[in-house]
Amino acid sequence: MYKPVYYESESFIVFLDIRPLLPGHSLVAPKRHTLYITELNDKELIELRDLLGYVLPKLLRAYGADSYNLSINGGEHAGMVVRHLHIHIVPRSASDPMQGRIVTFYSLLQGERRKYAKDVGKELDRLRRIFRYKGKGTQRRV
C-alpha cells in the first residue's frame, strides 16, 4: 500500500493522511504492529516523544500553523478503523476552515456536559479508589 512517508525513525514512520482534515494532516505509526499506545515499550515511547519534538515544530512552520491537534482512536468504539496504532497530527491556525466547526462541536456537547456534571463527584471518588490516590504528589504504579 502506498504511504506518502516524509519522515522515518528507527521504530516509526510519519506520512500524510490520504483523507486529510486540513493541509499537513499527518499520521505517525509504529513500524512494529501494535493496536494501542499502551503496547509500546519504554524505548519506543521515548523515541515517539523525541520524534514528535522534532516533527511538530517543522510541520507547523511548513504550514504556517501555531497550534495542533494530536489524536489517537484507541479501539473500535473510539473510531479506530485501521487496526494499527496511528497518531493523527493536524496543524491548526486561526485562519483554518475548521475553526467554526470546532466551536460548534463543543457547543453541541454543552447539553451532554450538563447531563453528566452531577455524576462527576461520584466518578472522581471511584477513580481515586481505583488509582489509590491520596492527593500527595506522584503516585507509584501498583
Cα–Cα dist 59/91, whole Å: 7
- 86 as an active site residue: the answer is yes
Residues 6+ apart with CB under 8 A from 31: 11, 12, 13
Question: Counting Cβ atoms within 10 Å, is residue 15 exposed (0-12), middle (13-18) or buried (19+)?
Answer: middle
**Contact of 60 with 68, CB cutoff 8 Å:** yes
* CA pair distance 13, 43, nearest whole angstrom: 16
Amino acid at 118: K
25, 33, 84, 86: which is the annotated catalytic residue? 86
Catalytic residue list: 86
